[in-house]
Structure 1
């Protein structure tokens, strides 16, 4: 009788362990199936500057930037210097390319350029927009806008340019396009955005702009679908590029606020819909590591400190040799601003201690 009880106990234990193992195997298989939807690409390709972008100075809304400082001759100087890093901070270049389909194209521009900085010790998130019209050196051709580096040399050239110009520790990127952006917003059920009267007039087609909404919007809180959220993010002419990229960051924060309370079904649908339209050089292991940190980021509020680079006080009107209007930048000053923003007290203490 005693042996029968022991045998029954062992059978029950083995059955429970088998069931747990089966659940784990299924969960791993499910998780891997989602990761396999992503396009993994190191972002590199041969630099091709044989076709240049035509000069269209009406495209860049830089507002009332001052003239170049005295002694500034338009030459773009990238200063030497060390790249600061912190093992607790991961910087990821976010690229929004301008395709309108679910296919990636080598001819696309990086219409939106941001850096997401994740501090896995303090569980803080910081988001910096980088002005697309910054004048940067392009290998083998004249200086051009930062946004065009993607067309000339892919994500790798854009990352390298940001790293060189701002001495920023960044070697990972995530790329989505306009189509994926629109689908993502629709999948999570839309987002709430507060719109100004001037923005509403633009989206309703009452003043000159480049993007109009499907549904009429009003000044105040509006619930936007994917199409209208994209239109809001792309509004031009009513103010400046600085305000335009602020709108882009507002949409990203609104999407995060919507997703952090989403149910499993919505998250599963979002993964199935969007992951096939994501390109990155993050590895599966790196993605898994960051995902494991997400509950801590969410419990910390999932709110992002935000800013735009260059700051208004550290840039000016500039003109390239081909007559292209560009944003001239004090790269040294902005590199320091970025380091202090991303690394905070750690960086400040090291500077004080002379390390």
Structure 2
């Protein structure tokens, strides 16, 4: 499928998480966007980006500091937020964004209207001691009650019941996305990191590719991917194909795609320590330059020094110490293209993170999942 023909992703009118076997009666499923699939992995890559660039960012402060874009979340949201608990843990909202212009347009299609959408989000909870983390993915098409919020320009946006989760970012940008997540979870976000879609391919190429193993053949003409079962070193283009694939493996759902993306980020984190960028100054600078151009942060991480310090606190977390789950959801009986929060099970997740405890297995047992677990892994 040529890029120009791809549909617009992330709008409330799009088809959502489910594959054909979950379609609601009488509803015709619209074509899935290809662009939002890569956004999820650019978001997943955010933690890896700051870890990879951490040391280099400190060395190249003056050259790289001007690359970072920031949003003053605290100013926009004011004091009407969950309690800021100081127990040594951190909660970070990581978002993938598509600005619909420039290189994003070339990679993902769409119109050059300068608008922005977010099609993936994850809450990264770093436990006290910064040796392990839990990561909770929020499906973009989850129906939620979006709260009233004020964006970073000072404009107020009305609340909306039964809205798609990703409409929060479309409506009011980063501040409204944070407000919505805090309203859903009761957890104050300590930081915000947004990763631009167009930087993903460059980052993977500058890392020298990412090594993965596939247990099945993956072939999807829509995402231009054709991988035989076995070991692979993915280029940036191939990595985009992997995270875009929907028909190539699993049940054709966004939830299944999340499973592939979670496996990919673990492979990426595994590879971080073996890259050797510290012995190659040019490679180090190129990586740090791309990373700082790719991320938008909250104002507390708006300098290279602050971002490097934050990254240093994450370097001890290996992939084996990352528990990755999807927010507990079930398919909406009224619309098979949407999902609903399993509120009782979701509460188990949020309560665990508030208490800096592991997420109990009961929280995700029996919830809607994809069918792609175990297809992709590290070699």
Comparing 234-243 with 244-253, greater Cα deviation is found at 234-243
Question: Structure 2 length as normaliser, TM-score?
Answer: 0.62
| Gap change, CA 1:118 and 1:324, over 3 Å in 2 | same
2:87 aligned with 1:87, yes or no?
yes
Deviation at 1:190, TM superposition (A): 0.6
Matches within 5 A, 1:319-334: 319=334, 325-334=337-346
* Equivalent residue in structure 1 for 2:269, among 234, 246, 256: 256
Where do 1:112-191 residues align within 5 Å? 112-138=120-146, 139-141=158-160, 143-191=162-210
1:279 aligned residue (296, 301, 310): 296
8 Å contact kept, 2:131–2:321: no
Query: Which residues of structure 1 form unaligned runs of 5+?
Result: 1-26, 47-80, 349-355
Match of 2:30 in 1: none
User: Residues 331 and 32 of structure 1: is their aligned pair in 2 closer, same or farther, counting only changes over 3 Å?
Assistant: farther
The answer to whether the 8 A contact 2:134-2:358 is kept is no
Structure 1 counterpart SS, 2:187: coil
Given candidates 277, 291, 295, the residue that maps to 2:311 is 291
1:243 deviation in Å?
1.7
Report which of the two has the higher share of strand.
Answer: 2
Q: Could you tell me whether the CA contact under 8 Å between 1:178 and 1:230 is conserved in 2? A: no
Partner of 1:336 in structure 2?
Answer: 348
Contact preservation (8 Å) 1:163, 1:170: yes
In 1: Cα distance, 2:358 partner to 2:246 partner = 38
Distance 1:166 1:251, change over 3 A: same
Contact 1:84 1:167 in 2 (8 A): no
Stretches of structure 2 that go unaligned for 5 or more consecutive residues are 1-56, 106-112, 147-157, 361-379
Q: State the 1:172 CA deviation.
A: 1.9
Q: Do the aligned residues in 1 keep the contact of 2:246 with 2:257 (CA within 8 Å)?
A: yes
1:197 and 1:29, CA in 2 relative to 1: closer, same or farther beyond 3 A? closer
Q: What is the DSSP-based 3-state SS (H/G/I as helix, E as strand, rest coil) of the residue aligned with 1:137?
A: strand
If you compute each CA radius of gyration, which structure gives the higher value, 1 or 2?
1
Is 1:41–1:279's contact at 8 Å kept on the other side of the alignment? yes
Aligned residue pairs total 271
Which residue number in structure 2 is paired with residue 192 of structure 1? Answer: 211
TM-aligned CA distance change 1:40 to 1:85, over 3 Å: same
RMSD: 3.3
Distance 1:128 1:121 in 2: 19
Q: Measured at CA, do residues 28 and 220 of structure 1 come closer, stay the same or move farther in structure 2, by a change above 3 Å?
A: closer
Structure 1 position 327, deviation (Å)? 1.0
Following superposition, the deviation at residue 268 of structure 1 comes to 2.3
SS of the residue 2:313 aligns to: helix
Q: Do the aligned partners of 1:173 and 1:280 also contact (CA within 8 Å) in 2?
A: yes
| Alignment TM-score, normalising by the size of structure 1 | 0.66
Counterpart-to-counterpart distance in 2, 1:234 and 1:33: 34
1:276 Cα deviation from its structure 2 partner: 1.1
CA distance in 2, matches of 1:36, 1:303: 34
Give the C-alpha shift of residue 303 in structure 1: 3.6
Q: Structure 1: how far apart are the matches of 2:95 and 2:219? A: 28
Does residue 1:41 correspond to 2:71, yes or no?
A: yes
What is the match of residue 226 of structure 1?
236
Aligned to 2:51: none
1:71 matched residue in structure 2? none
Deviation at 1:290, TM superposition (A): 1.8
